[in-house]
Amino acid sequence: MSSSVPFLDLVRQHRSIRKEIKEAVGGVLESQRFVLGENGRALEKAVAKYSGTKFAVGLASGSDALYLALWAMGVGPGDEVITTPFTFFATASAISRLGAKPVFADIDAKTFNLDPSQICSKITSRSKAIVPVHLFGLCCDMDGILGAAKKHGLSVVEDAAQAFGAEYRGRRAGSMGDIGCFSFYPTKNLGAAGDGGMLVTSSAQRDQKVRLKRDHGSKIKYHHELIGINSRLDELQAAMLRVKLKYVGKWNAKRQRIAARYNEAFKNLPLQIPFTPDGYQHAWHLYSVLSPKREALSRFLEIKGIGAAVYYPLPLHLQPCYRSLGYHAGDFPVSERVVREILALPMFPELSGAEQDRVIAAIRMFFKR
Ligand SMILES: Cc1ncc(COP(=O)(O)O)c(C=O)c1O
């Protein structure tokens, strides 16, 4: 009863597939082929199939996936790209790295995702793209977002970094916009043993463009058609991810069962629980609740030995590095309230029933005091 409940424990997952991982890594070491080999190609094929797209390109990170996706859609200096202020920094920095300007639009109070009704007023003659972020593993209202994009001739790059395997009305995250981006950062639902990322698309032209750009703009060794970068997913990561891809559906289903249990247990408490609209399949990268008493709740859980964390404490429009964009506190009231009240609870497939019981008991106890 006294042991703590970790917010996330990656060791348990590794133990469950240790033998396969060792074989996969051993195979790469025996081949001594570390960059752009058969594992990367096989993983690209498998992820494209899984996502319901024609192509996938392995990259060094999810951040690079966003950068290269926006580049492939023609985003550059002077352009504006609309996105959410309530996301991880990499969503907006990909836009800035291209010399374009992030333009924020507020989120929906129940889903924490970009609110399509907030987008239209942000569109100008410089708008080029929208980046919806499927935050915590829940897809955005893609019909609304794709509708706005179509109406105004904008590209859509999905930030599906946290949503591998999530679904929206029968379509997988990443397959709905022009390009979808995944992160394989170790803590993600499909996580590597280091950095990694991938983008998916059904356009052969975009696939070829990104393939060229990720490898120094070179198809023939030492001949460079354009000024590219080095952003390749290495073979060790790809080999491990091929093993994990076989299990991600099962792991996501376990996350769904834990979330359902939490939802049921918390439904009568003065706590805003995550909302999953009909027809959406949540990937539950994170399970986050909202409470005006967030600070006290967080301290209480810490004393009880229960891991909890805040994603994210400061919205992007108020980040020091984005002061020059000219935003102020109060510009995005929903995002600003959410950052004050949000708290993520332990959520990973291997979280035991007894540990879930402890999380539930502690939360109930907090509100009964
Ligand atoms: C929403 C979101 N976008 C982008 C990224 C960037 O991915 P990476 O860490 O693989 O660069 C992350 C994860 O870190 C993320 O959570």
For 101-136, write each residue's pLDDT tens digit. 999 999 999 999 999 999 999 999 999 999 999 999
Angle between helices 353-368 and 294-303 (to 10 degrees): 130
Going by pLDDT thresholds of 50, 70 and 90, the confidence category of residue 2 is low
Range of the domain at 324: 248-368
Are 231 and 284 in the same domain?
no
261, 356 Cβ separation under 8 angstroms: yes
3-class DSSP assignment, residue 5: strand
Q: Which atom of ligand 1 is nearest to the CA of 66?
A: 4
Are 224 and 321 in the same domain?
no
Are 138 and 124 in the same domain?
yes
Q: Which atom of ligand 1 is nearest to the CA of 94?
A: 4
Are 167 and 228 in the same domain?
yes
Q: Which of 211, 245, 279 is the last residue of a domain?
A: 245
Percent of residues, the chain, with pLDDT higher than 70: 99
Q: What pLDDT sits at residue 3?
A: 76
3-class DSSP assignment, residue 281: strand
Residues with CB under 6 A from ligand 1: 61-63, 87-88, 90-91, 133, 159, 161-162, 183, 185, 195, 197
Are 190 and 132 in the same domain?
yes
The residue contributing the CA closest to ligand 1 atom 12 is 161
CATH at 344: 3.90.1150.10
CB-side exposure of 19: number of CA atoms within 13 Å?
A: 1
Q: What pLDDT sits at residue 223?
A: 98
Average pLDDT, the chain: 98
Q: Which atom of ligand 1 is nearest to the CA of 90?
A: 4
Indicate the top mutation candidate among 8, 61, 63 to test ligand 1's pocket, ranked by most ligand atoms within 8 A of CB: 63
Indicate the top mutation candidate among 8, 59, 88 to test ligand 1's pocket, ranked by most ligand atoms within 8 A of CB: 88
Q: Counting Cβ atoms within 10 Å, is residue 8 exposed (0-12), middle (13-18) or buried (19+)?
A: middle
Are 70 and 215 in the same domain?
yes
User: Measured in whole angstroms, how far is the alpha carbon of residue 35 from the centre of its chain?
Assistant: 25
Are 229 and 266 in the same domain?
no
**Based on the structure, what is the number of domains in the chain?**
2
Average pLDDT (4-20) is 98
Q: What pLDDT sits at residue 1?
A: 47
Going by pLDDT thresholds of 50, 70 and 90, the confidence category of residue 369 is confident
pLDDT (tens digit per residue) in 258-309 = 999 999 999 999 999 999 999 999 999 999 999 999 999 999 999 999 999 9
Query: Which tokens in the block code for residue 57?
Result: 């390109």
Average pLDDT (68-78) is 98
**367 C-alpha to ligand 1 centroid (Å):** 34
CATH at 118: 3.40.640.10
Are 14 and 140 in the same domain?
yes
190 found inside a domain: yes
Rg of the chain's alpha carbons, rounded to an integer? 21
Average pLDDT (142-170) is 98
**161 C-alpha to ligand 1 centroid (Å):** 5
5 found inside a domain: no
Q: Which atom of ligand 1 is nearest to the CA of 133?
A: 1
Cβ neighbors of 364 (< 8 A, separation 6 or more) are 265, 269
Q: Which of 245, 274, 307 is the last residue of a domain?
A: 245
Are 308 and 206 in the same domain?
no
Q: Which of 200, 227, 245 is the last residue of a domain?
A: 245
